[in-house]
Structure 1
Amino acid sequence: MIMVIALALAGAVQGGSGTARAEEDGTATGRQLLFYNHAYGVLDRETADAIEHSSYLRDFAAFQVRTTTGAGGQTWTGRYLMGRETYLELFGVGDLPGKDGTLGATGMGVSTERAGDLPTVVERLRKAGITDPVEFRQTRDFGDGVPVPWFDAVFTTGEYDLFGTWGMEYRPEYFADPRGNTEPAAHPGDVGRERYLPDTYRDRLMRDVTGIRLAVTARDLASTVPLLKAGGFAVRSLPGGGVVANGGGTTIRFDSVPVEQVGLKQVEMSLNQPVSYRHVERIGHSALVVGPGSRAVWTFQEQDPPGTAGQGS
């Protein structure tokens, strides 16, 4: 789900108002309503192409390259690493329309697990001073020209630099469509991430995204913190203006940087089983380090020495 597509179709580029200060610590009262769902990053073309053609990633994760048609006929082609409840979506420069296709552009979706929780998030946002949150319904076209309701979304604002976060709740119509390849509900009102994603992760090494580090502008961070707090994340400020948000098994770190330094920096992943070795897979200008143990760390925007790209160790 791409930020510019949703906001343009919502007709709300002027956005909401009353964002909270990013350095304020704490969380909203009550149970956690939103959980890390997925994030995307726009990488340099060499790295994006190396990811797309990496044979290692196809063994490491439930990996796919997919073109999706959303509301208004907008399409995007992403490279996906799918876990049990979470996933990662990667693009190259120019793969997305407008400024969303700029090197370093990023976005993140945080989603509900129970039907009806998103309106509670919206209510919390209004109480926190977000007087005009942007609400939007995304659809998906499976190829027959008939859009299927996919999920409802909320943004704190329609104005952003190169990063945006949205809260989301999957629609029952999507779960009812067999082309979505979703699972049966585990309990009444189940709209959770595990139900949405297929179980193909079981045959691979990667299990889930447990940590993500993003460099964003101060304005984009200030628009993000109220949504995380409304969703129940515990938000802690860092020296230099960044924050760390914890909740639901995923740690999200934001570094506050000038716009020319923004981008996806690092992703931490859990594994389905521990490994006894340490493997380094260089993929374009990035390095994926797997093991030892039950953890993998993928660092982006790392320049490789000549002749080493794509070599494992």
Structure 2
Amino acid sequence: MPTQSEIHVIIPINIFQQPEFTKLHELTKAGRYTTLLAFWVKLLFKAAELQHDGLLFVEPDKPLSIRAIARWNDFQHDERVPPLLQLLCTCKLIAPAANGQYRICHWERFFVAKDTAHGRPSRFYDPQKPPTAQPAPQPPVPLPANVTPLALQKYTPEQRAKLAASSHRILAYLQQQSGKAFTDTVATQVLLAALFEQKVTVKQIKRVIDWKCHDWYGGDYWKFVRPQTLFGPKFKQYLLEAPPPPHVQPAARLTKQQYLRDLYQLSCGDVNMVLLRAADEAVTVTKAEVEAIGHELGY
């Protein structure tokens, strides 16, 4: 799927003279009108990015959440969204669609193009001379069935099928938590395969997703909530930063052996990470003790 920076929406030059915008202007004050226009434009470009006849969604078969719409518009507070949606629906600029989603009204007015040389996100056309509709972009050509990326060649076909299924479920969870849309690529499967080789669990991956969606939400780092960042070289760092799950007992209530077992598994078998976390929690541990726990757990 092209990124928004590659998407260009061609808009009729008299768009803001249409009855819908006239009604919107009548129902709002000047400052509010500008806010609503900016909100609608963000939805317009999201629909163009999705390339689904004006439909707005995160997952095609699930309702569109207010939280997702807030994130598309860089809103820090979700409660700003419902009144804006209501006004746009009243003016018939957007409309409710199936499955709790929304659709841009009169999508036939707009033309979407992928044109990196153009340099601007939008341009206008004369309604008397509408441009030729752009063909829908073709999906990337998949690798032939008998060709496997080098990083995955050591796996059997059955193992690769399981990896692909796990990758799909993890990306679905990331989309649900972040409100963003991602494509399941071989590159993501390679990153996840590397984590699984380190005995990282799906539960730990979801903890990192939850933590970074919370930690980076609404800030400058929100753009880095994506597979290549979360599942990359800093994964273990993010995992150690994440607050412990509610069921984990404080270190003081555990035996030292159980504490080390839990910490070793949390650190995905990284001895240095175990030593650093133990030091942070004022627990005296030797490298030999940690290595013995790893041997006991089969790392």
TM-score for the superposition, normalised by structure 1: 0.25
Which protein has greater RCO, CA pairs closer than 8 Å, 6+ apart? 1
Point out the structure with the larger helix share.
2
Larger radius of gyration: 2
Q: What TM-score results when the alignment is normalised by the length of structure 2?
A: 0.26
